[in-house]
Structures are given as structure tokens and as C-alpha cells.
Amino acid sequence: MSKRLIIVLALALLVGLAFSPAYAEVQNVKVSVDIIASGVARNHFNLTNGGAGDKADIDQSFIMSQIRLRVDADLTDNVMTTVRLINERVWNGQNDTATNGDSNIDLDLAYVTLKEFLYSPLTLTIGRQEIRFGNGLIIGNAKVPTGVVNIPTDLSERKAFDAIRATLNYDPLVVDFIYAKVKQTDTTRDNNISLAGINATYAINKKINVSTYYLLKTDNWADTAVSKGKADKVNVLGALISATPIDNLVASLEGAYQFGKDDSTTTGQNRHDAWALQAMADYTFAKVKMTPKIGASYTYLSGDEAAGSRNSGWDPMFYDQQLNSIIYALHPFTNMSAYNLRASAKPMEDVTVALNYGYYDLAKKFSGTWTLDNTSRYNGDTQYLPNVTLTGKQHIGDELDASVLYDYTEDVQLGLTAGWLKTGKGLSLDRRDASQLIGSMKVVF
């Protein structure tokens, strides 16, 4: 009996050891939080010239909070993990519900980093992560899906991709391979949007970096349960040169070409052929009182032709650039020729003031109704400006943004930003100017 008992206990011990949960040894844990509270006032964000008390005007006034909690853990053998939770909500007292989305605490980041995976130059990052190449002209923001947040989507802090990223660091050459699922449904086969590509950056010397990239966006997403058939494919080839030719001067030049096919179109425009060009320069007067800084940029994004078998409109991809705040919210990142001038200074050690002026033309002018895709949404679902009537003229508007930032302490920053968009002759005569004012407090610890 005793031998049987010993055997049973021994077997139980072996089973327990074999199936007991194994926990990784944690070397270091870092917890960080950032909280942003903002008051937002926006007027005529649908550019409508309504009468007094006309409810067709989109005028907004609200207070919102954005809270992110991040945990970084260093495990053994060059393994690191990151998890960040986020809540973005309009202040609503205790009236939050699951349906309005204000009570949601969502997964913003969740990825594992494996350094020196298999061999020393390779780093593997798997999971929900932020990916940004260059100046964010092509890749930087996965965009908030419709209905996820109940704040204006152009103000959201969410940018992450569900992706696998492999980085090969052969200093001075760094090569990134990425594959991301941007949108996916389990109920319909091949109903998804995916992104794949390679980005290679080479540091020629301490002053010049050169990057080249190839990206492929495959879009087979259908709004209904019926698949739309063959996938739309947009290929992007591009190059970026970044340089500091003299002290305190930062300049860059980027060009990209898009090609592909839209097999789902019913208009006959099934060949995609588009261009983008961007030049930037910023100079800081480091030895001058108040440390003034000036900058200029030019951005060209090709526009679509009114008819023909070729679609020459630039696909916005997953850009992360805010040339001006109101234009960013209203105008899709395509069919644009934009000139920007900016300046900033520090009148006090803890205060920064800045101005940013933008002059906006259509790259391809035409008259008629233009349906605006990929524009921001003000309640997670409804667009500010679903479409606009064009007059056949080139100029669509001028925007001036002004901001003041005050570093109250090392952890607290107060900000005030104002924007004014004056509509141009390229828009129909009944269009009104848009404006906004945003006051914010940001705490990071």
C-alpha cells in the first residue's frame, strides 16, 4: 500500500511539474502614464454658410480626456514586452455607457520585442505597435476605425498597427521588413486590408541619411458580407534624403510613385498611377536670444483625372502629417499642392510660441461634387465634410495656426492652439471659413 501511495504521489508531482504554469523572470518593470485634458471649440467644420441658428452648421464645444497607461517589462535573454491601455472620452459625468464608447478602456499597444533573435543584427517586434518611417508621408498612423472613439478622430492619440516587424541593424545600414493587418473580419474569407513592405536607411555620414522603400497595400475589404472579388493593390516606391548641411539646418526631400490596379471599380478607372513630392527645411538660430526657428515646406499629392482609364489620385496610405490642423481634419491627403511657412520662438525659458501658415491648391482642378474619403469623423461615425462642391478653380484655402506652450513643471505642460481656415475660390460660393480653439493640459509621469 505504501509503495502504491509513493508511486501515486511521485506521478502527481511529475504531472504538477510538467503542467504548472511557467512565468518569465522579470528583470525590470517601468510604469508610465500620460493624461491630456482638453477643451475644444470648433466652428463651421462642414464649411456650410447657414443662416442664424441654422443647425446645418457643425459647431462643437466640449471637454475631453485622453489617458494612457503603459507598462514596459524587461525579461531575460533580450526579451522585452510593452502593453499600453487607452481611454479617450468626452466629459459626460457619470452618464457613460458601453454604446457611446466613452467608458471603453482599449488596447493601444501590446507587443513583444526579441533582440538578437537567432543572430545579433536581427530584432523582431510582434504585436500592436507604432510604425513610422521618415517624416510620416506614407507610414505612421493606422487611422482610428469608424465607431471606435466618440471624440473627433483627428484628435485621437491612437496610431498603432497590428504587425510583425523585423529589423536588421548593419550599422550604418538599417533594414525594416513589416507586415500588418489593418482591417480583418472572421466572418468572410479574404475580407481584409493588409500592408507589407521594406524600408532601408543608410547613414552616408553624420550629416546625410538616405532611405528607400517599397510598400504594398492590399485592400479586399467589403462593407457587406459579400466579398468584392479581387483585391485592390497599391504599390509605393519612394526615396527620402535627410541632411543637416550646416549646423542647425535640417532639410529633407522625398519623392514617391504609386502604381497598381483597382479590380473592383465600376468607373473603368482600374489603373492606378500617382505621385507625391515633399521638400522641407527648418533652421534654428541657436545662438540668438529666444532661440527663434523658421521653416518652410512644399507638398505635392497628385489628383485624379475627371475621366479615363487611369486613376492618378494619390492614395493617402497611412500618413501621419498635420500640415495645418483644420485642413488635416477636413481635407483628404490627396489632390493637394501645399506651401507651408512656420516660425517659433521662446520668449521665456518655459514658453514656446509658434505660427504656421498654409496655402492650399488643388493639384488637379475640376468642377462638380467631390466625395471626400479618409476624412476625419467628429463622433466616430459621421464625417465633418463628406463631400464638397468645386468650382473649377485651383485655390481651396489658406490656414493660419497659432500656439502657445507653457512648461509649467517638468511633468506638466499647458497649451493653447487657435486655427483659422479661410476658404478659397476653388470651393463653392456658399462656403464659410472654419475656426477652432483648443486649450489643453498634459501630465506625463
Angle at alpha carbon of residue 392, lines to 388 and 397, rounded to 5°: 60
Helix extents (H) in 301-393: 325-330
Name the E strands within 44-105. Answer: 60-75, 79-90
Q: How far apart are CA 62 and CA 361, in angstroms?
A: 31
pLDDT along the chain (445 residues), means of 10: 44 43 76 98 83 65 96 94 96 64 82 95 98 97 83 94 98 98 73 92 97 94 55 94 97 98 62 96 96 98 77 94 96 96 97 99 89 80 86 94 98 98 87 94 97
Question: Which residue, 399, 435, 443, 393, is CA-closest to 418?
Answer: 435
Q: How far apart are CA 141 and CA 118, in angstroms?
A: 30
Phi/psi of residue 195, nearest 5 degrees: -135, 130
pLDDT at 92: 83
pLDDT at 209: 98
CATH tag, 23-444: 2.40.160.100
Cis geometry, peptide bond prior to residue 172 (ω within 30 degrees of 0): yes
pLDDT at 71: 98
Give helix then strand counts, H and E, for the chain.
Answer: 2, 21
* Cα 226 from chain centroid (whole Å): 29
> How many CB atoms neighbour CB 27 within 10 A?
12
Q: How far apart are CA 87 and CA 433, in angstroms?
A: 32
Ramachandran quadrant class, 54 (left: phi over 0; alpha: psi -120 to 50; beta: rest)? beta
Angle at alpha carbon of residue 396, lines to 51 and 344, rounded to 5°: 105
Contact by Cβ (8 Å): 374, 143: yes
Look at residue 141 and give its three-state secondary structure.
coil
pLDDT at 268: 53
For residue 391, what is the DSSP state? E
